[in-house]
Amino acid sequence: MLESPANISSLPGGTASALTRAGELFQIFRDGQARTRAELAELTGLARSTVAARLDALTALGLIGPAGEAVSSGGRPPSRVAFKPSARVVFAVDVGATHLLIGLTDLGGRLIGERRVPADVSDGPEVVLDLVLEHCRQLLTESGRTPEELAGVGIGVPGPVEHSSGKPSNPPIMPGWDRFDIPAYIQRVFRAEVLVDNDVNIMALGERAAHWEDAQDLLFIKVATGIGSGIISGGLLQRGADGTAGDLGHVRVPRGEGVTCRCGNEGCLEAIASGPAIARSLTEAGVPASGGEDVLALVRAGNVQAIQAIRQAGRDVGDVLATCVSMLNPAIIVVGGSLSVAGEHLLAGVREVVYGRSLPLATSRLRIVQSMAAREAGVLGASRMVTDHVLSAGRIDAALAAL
């Protein structure tokens, strides 16, 4: 949580009107570029005295600081100021079906420390979140930072989430998590903002922030123990009315006829194309595999049946994505999740069906690529979710107004 220092009321020109909308001025600095006061005045159209007052306020919050001097055009070189990402830290947590990835980042999304921990989400919220808290404490201690420097906690979970409350909503693979108050549980230990979202949503945010920042229309597809997607349309993450937007894993597909999914329905994409589903089909065909990792090991070893099974899973995913392409017209489809490391074998199946079934106009500029953020996508996205919230113009102005 961004705390306002007690001495801010003594800032030069520190009237309420002088500090109003300092948060809007700060947004200019989010690109990481250093600027002089004259450049800011020209860019915003504000008087230099107003710019100075708002910069003083942001400096007192610790969000900006000196960044050297600009080239002089005669006389003393003007000083520059820039965003200080190190001012606060963020916990970024990616809760998977069988693992936890816990990162500590600065406000710019730079990873300071990280832990990957085996965990079973079906053990329930208290067990899993206690493990999260234990490793968060360790990361904070190792980094030399204090709880007072914590700006917020971002958490992604493998199921639908009511984003406004941070409570999971009937998650199929998360027994005991339905309506559990995750933010309140975390805030017993850390007094900070806690934001929760579906894991694939935060992966979409992380992938875009790290590698496709200019992309306004992007689909992120996670193929792992489960299958889901994060939808960015018009530059905004789309969660839907109840937080279930992008739940591709439970879309019915033709090849799934008669196959029961763990959600209780028949024919779901996840029931035939997820890691456990592929492992099961290989085992039934005489190639033993207990899960997605075994499938990947077989692919790396050149097992033809495993390679064919991965490619068929790609086709099945492509069946659903072809409809998504027609409806959403994305510019980029990013395929991530543990099975994406099968690389071109999975992507080839996806491309085969999407490019074959979608209208040429919808695919003329469409790129279907493997995730570049890879396993870091979730923590990068969780961090970005928090920083976009706590560094928004409204939140910064509220911190100043509270004084």
Q: Do 142 and 248 have their domain in common?
A: no
For the chain, how many structural domains are there in total?
3
Q: Do 129 and 193 have their domain in common?
A: yes
Distances in whole angstroms, Cα of residue 266 to Cα of each of 74, 97, 159, 310: 75, 21, 19, 21
Tokens of 237: 């993450």
Q: Do 365 and 229 have their domain in common?
A: yes
Task: Examine residue 78 and state whether it is found in any structural domain, yes or no.
Answer: yes
Q: Do 264 and 368 have their domain in common?
A: yes
Instruction: List all residues 6 or more positions away from 336 whose beta carbon is below 8 Å from its beta carbon.
Output: 203, 207, 220, 221, 222, 223, 370, 371, 373, 374, 377
Task: Examine residue 395 and state whether it is found in any structural domain, yes or no.
Answer: no
Q: Do 130 and 195 have their domain in common?
A: yes
Predicted model pTM: 0.89
Q: Do 359 and 300 have their domain in common?
A: yes
Instruction: List all residues 6 or more positions away from 344 whose beta carbon is below 8 Å from its beta carbon.
Output: none
Instruction: List all residues 6 or more positions away from 17 whose beta carbon is below 8 Å from its beta carbon.
Output: none
Q: Do 363 and 382 have their domain in common?
A: no
Q: Do 117 and 242 have their domain in common?
A: no
Neighbours of 21 (CB within 10 A): 17
pLDDT in tens, the chain (403 residues): 565 443 333 344 444 444 458 999 999 999 989 999 999 999 889 999 999 999 999 998 899 999 876 555 555 667 899 999 999 999 999 999 889 999 999 999 999 999 999 999 999 999 999 999 999 999 999 999 999 999 999 999 998 999 999 999 988 889 999 999 999 999 999 999 999 999 999 999 999 999 999 999 999 999 998 899 999 999 999 998 888 899 899 999 989 999 999 888 999 999 999 999 999 999 999 999 999 999 999 999 999 999 999 999 999 999 999 999 999 999 999 999 999 988 789 999 999 999 999 988 899 999 999 999 999 999 999 999 999 999 999 999 988 887 6
Q: Which of the listed residues 83, 101, 121 is the one where a domain comes to its end?
A: 83
Residue 95's domain comprises 87-202+378-390
Here the CATH number for the domain that contains residue 10 is 1.10.10.10
Q: Do 229 and 344 have their domain in common?
A: yes
Q: Which of the listed residues 83, 104, 126 is the one where a domain comes to its end?
A: 83
Q: Do 329 and 359 have their domain in common?
A: yes
Task: Examine residue 130 and state whether it is found in any structural domain, yes or no.
Answer: yes
Here the CATH number for the domain that contains residue 220 is 3.30.420.40
Task: Examine residue 397 and state whether it is found in any structural domain, yes or no.
Answer: no
- Rounded to whole angstroms, the Cα distance separating 144 from 123 reads 32
Q: Do 174 and 210 have their domain in common?
A: no
Q: What are phi and psi of 112, to 5 degrees?
A: -95, -35
Task: Examine residue 51 and state whether it is found in any structural domain, yes or no.
Answer: yes
Task: Examine residue 399 and state whether it is found in any structural domain, yes or no.
Answer: no
Q: Do 189 and 171 have their domain in common?
A: yes
Of 110, 187, 106, 104, the C-alpha closest to 142 is: 104
